[in-house]
Structure 1
Amino acid sequence: MSTSPGIADLEPLRRRREQRAWTWYDWANSAYFTTVLSVLFGPYMATVAGRAAGCGEEVEGCERTLSVLGLGVAPGSLPFYLTSFATILSAFVLPFVGALVDRSPRKRLHLAAFAWSGAATASLLFWMRDDQWQIGAVAVVVSSVLAGCSLVSYSALLVDISDEQERDALSSRGWAFGYLGGGVLLALNLVLVLGNDAFGISTELAVRLSMLSAAVWWAAFTIIPVTRLRDRPPSAPEGPGGSLVDRSFGQLRRTLRELRSYPMTLRFLVAYLFFNDGIQTVIYAASTYGEKTLGFGTSVLIGTILLIQFVAFGGALLFGRLAARYGSYTPILRGLAVWIVIVVVAFFLPARNVALFLLVAVGIGVVLGGTQALSRSFFSLLIPRGREGEYFALYNACERGTSWLGTFVFGLVFQLTDSYRPALLALLVFFVVGGALLLRVDPERGIREAGNDVPLALRRASV
């Protein structure tokens, strides 16, 4: 029996519905990265670790160290070392997860398992109080790794639900929606932290409740993509026989060998490692720098990060429009130039000058969402079909909240100089090196070598 020609093709409608559902995971997980990693965890962990070391509430200028696995660590450096350790651990875990995702027909269920496990672990941050820094250290490392695992499945799904012409716009909408979601929860937390007396609780309890709310938000909104996305058969080529684990390791070994056959993909990945480390460290260190060096209170810091969130919402959409006209490559380059200016200006900021601090925050917001969104969509064009999980595993190993070299350098320079200003200026090298490597990427060649179609906008921009 033939299909009636009058019946409409519903596949485009289903795909748009999935694309809308997919963006909800950006909304869900951004609350963790914003409320916990970008704003509250760093300063709060430094304070808790400072108490344990006998520094009291001030860590800058304190010469006491904290014993961590037998090593003397400055309390102000501990949050950055923890982030570095989480990413080093991710470097071992995420590639295996990516190989597993590519061989599995259940990407959305992997997303659910990693997201809900990460949210459950992040909720343990509520119990970090007094001088009990250990539970916070374990919780932030494990939850960061699990968040990275969830992003491997999430990014691989981008390729399943969109074609080459749609990716820049869809990735930009996802990042924009994520910044909006993170901003909404942060606004609610701002009310709680600033109005803690009205709620009859201490500031520290308000901070702990805010970190708990991010874990609950992450878990709750993950339900939407998990229930509305569809599973698809894996498109990865058949690998060696054996169990799923055996095949995953075999595929990973082949991918690492074959990456040399895609020089533009490898070059962009290394460039991204550098400039994203710079971006993530600036965001992660902003609240600590603002509190400990510039002398701002928690209210100003949360308000500033909140401003960045909402400006980044518009910035991501703006860069999406630029990509529709010029392709994603050129806007990423221009965004890195702006990042260099931002770091230099932030280094010279005078203490307690709120107006200038907010001006820098606006600049960060404009380029933050755009550079990250377009980096994700541009990288997706450089991946051979069926290898999305493994390649995005390598990509997400240096993704937001998991940069290791930047946070390590920031923490090390602070430990050597006892000041966050030179530590911030040291991050310039990441943007300069990343930009120099990106200039050596031939986008059209890389996309064609990966077997994908070059988007029309990028072809027009190169004429």
Structure 2
Amino acid sequence: MSNFIRKLNQLKPFRDLNEQEFSWVLYDVGNSAYTMLACSLIPIWFKADAIGVGPGKISSDNATAYWALATSVVTIVVALIGPVCGVLADHKDTKKFVFSTSLAIGIIACILNGFVSSWFLFLFVYIVTKIAYQASLTFYDSMLNDVTTEERSDVVSSYGYAWGYLGSCIPFLIALVAYIVGGGLSKDFMLFSPQVGKIIGFGVTAIWWLIVTIPLLKNYQQKYYVQDTKGSVRKVFQKIFGSLKRIAKEDKKVLYFLIAFFLYIDGVGTIIDNCINLGTDLGLDTVGQVVFLLLTQVVAFGGSLVFARLSRNHSTVSLMKVCIVGYTVVCIYALSLQSLWQFAVMAFGVGCFQGSIQSLSRSYYAKIIPNENGGEYFGIYDIFAKGASFLGSFVIFVVKKIGLLTGGVFEIGSFTFKSINVAIACLALFFILGYIFLGKSDKERRINN
């Protein structure tokens, strides 16, 4: 196994990464497989188990409501425990342990999800898996300063997202085939039961997640930490609130960035979540949704690599601004969508900037925070990342509700637009405000330096 990983590291795309950097990048390849499954097949499997008539079954509307509730529970729990986990991880020689623990819980729960037939237990195990997965990402992101230098963080972070997008397609395609031959699309293709297809889908994802993480577990060494190793839970929370107070009063570059990040990453997430709804309105079926998902993954891979190369000669902030402007254009372009080929153009645009804006945000934040408090600060970062998800969705909800009063359309002058198109166009405001606050963060950083 180690010889194979070493040979893989020597291939041209990875040759400029050292052993620790390459091991770190591989975890993005692992966790992205679960991300891909969670936003595609897992909701389908849940509804297949839940919807029906008779004991233990619920209506389609109830299934959608419970799924939304589960997502909210994950968001709230992760937002609460993220900073606490981050503070604990900042102590000497603890980051690998807490990372390994969350990883183990996530992988075991992922496997169990395939064997559960009750929709309620399915949802419970999914929540456990997602919380453990998100916790592992907090520790993983804070490892960036340990595995590379400030000068190389943009490249390494971009490589993580790039190869994560591409690598996740491998287990996903296996899971997709298992879903299809398990009768997911038609009984004509059925070779085994849907339950077996579900077991294979979750199992392949979990095994992939584990195998590509082994190099990081083996090679990672914590370089930065705090000396204080004692403290009650109360002291942990006091430290977190103390850090938030210090950021608000004294560290404007971090404060302005977190505000900017909250705004534009909300727009990014909302566009990704609602592109499927937009495609469905244009006649996109289940197969088309999967093709769209794969298209954005492949394009995001290429986009992340391009920005990784550009980061060697251009500042992180300037490249982030390019991504924000790109997303603003995508939002405005959404107004004109009337056909599937136009939707494909939009999907291509989303893919170009999706991984880049996330990877550059991660590396820029790593540069402006104290190295020894990386876990704590990335816990705060996760609060802004997870907490942002509600704002854009609320805008979509409000615009759609207003649209219902006007027959689902808006008339602006001589032009008529569907409500979902207008809703996505409104998200441009998030990117414009994010652009402004990012500029303020960069200005504060240059003044302090």
Q: Normalization by structure 2: what TM-score?
A: 0.80
Bigger helix share: 2
Output aligned runs, 1:60-139, within 5 Å: 65-66=61-62, 75-127=63-115, 132-139=118-125
- Indicate conservation of the 8 Å contact 1:94/1:394, yes or no: yes
Match of 1:218 among 200, 209, 217: 209
**In the alignment, what sits opposite 1:41?**
42
* Residue 215 to residue 435, structure 1, CA distance change in 2 (3 Å): farther
CA distance in 2 between partners of 1:118 and 1:401 (Å)? 22
- Indicate conservation of the 8 Å contact 1:99/1:248, yes or no: yes
**In the alignment, what sits opposite 1:392?**
378
* Residue 137 to residue 14, structure 1, CA distance change in 2 (3 Å): same
Mapped pair 1:185 → 2:171: yes
**In the alignment, what sits opposite 1:235?**
225
Q: Give the % identical residues.
A: 25
CA distances 1:105-147 after superposition (whole Å, capped 9, x unpaired): 2312221111221222233432565xx4323332333322222
CA distance in 1 between partners of 2:399 and 2:312 (Å)? 40
**In the alignment, what sits opposite 2:435?**
438
CA distances 1:217-245 after superposition (whole Å, capped 9, x unpaired): 2233222211121233x433x55x74364
* Residue 86 to residue 171, structure 1, CA distance change in 2 (3 Å): same
* Residue 335 to residue 128, structure 1, CA distance change in 2 (3 Å): farther
Output aligned runs, 1:221-370, within 5 Å: 221-232=212-223, 234-236=224-226, 238=227, 242-243=230-231, 245=233, 248-260=236-248, 261-287=250-276, 290-291=279-280, 293-346=281-334, 349-350=337-338, 354-370=340-356
**In the alignment, what sits opposite 1:145?**
131
* Residue 216 to residue 409, structure 1, CA distance change in 2 (3 Å): farther
Amino acid at match of 2:157: S
CA distance in 2 between partners of 1:49 and 1:329 (Å)? 46
- The Cα of 1:16 is off from its aligned counterpart by 1.5
CA distance in 1 between partners of 2:72 and 2:440 (Å)? 31
CA distances 1:345-396 after superposition (whole Å, capped 9, x unpaired): 456544xx54333332222211111111111111111212322111111212
**In the alignment, what sits opposite 2:10?**
none
- The Cα of 1:276 is off from its aligned counterpart by 1.3
CA distances 1:24-77 after superposition (whole Å, capped 9, x unpaired): 1101100011122x22234444565554799x9995xxxxx53xxxxxxxx445
- Indicate conservation of the 8 Å contact 1:332/1:371, yes or no: yes
Aligned residues, how many?
Answer: 416
CA distance in 2 between partners of 1:42 and 1:289 (Å)? 18
CA distance in 2 between partners of 1:343 and 1:52 (Å)? 41
- Indicate conservation of the 8 Å contact 1:81/1:408, yes or no: no
Amino acid at match of 2:225: S
Aligned-partner SS, 2:158: helix
- The Cα of 1:323 is off from its aligned counterpart by 2.4
Mapped pair 1:174 → 2:140: no
Give the root-mean-square deviation of aligned CA atoms. 3.6
> What stretches of structure 1 of length at least 5 have no aligned partner?
1-12, 60-64, 67-74, 454-463
* Residue 449 to residue 139, structure 1, CA distance change in 2 (3 Å): farther
Deviates more, 1:151-160 or 1:180-189: 180-189
Aligned-partner SS, 1:163: coil
* Residue 398 to residue 183, structure 1, CA distance change in 2 (3 Å): farther
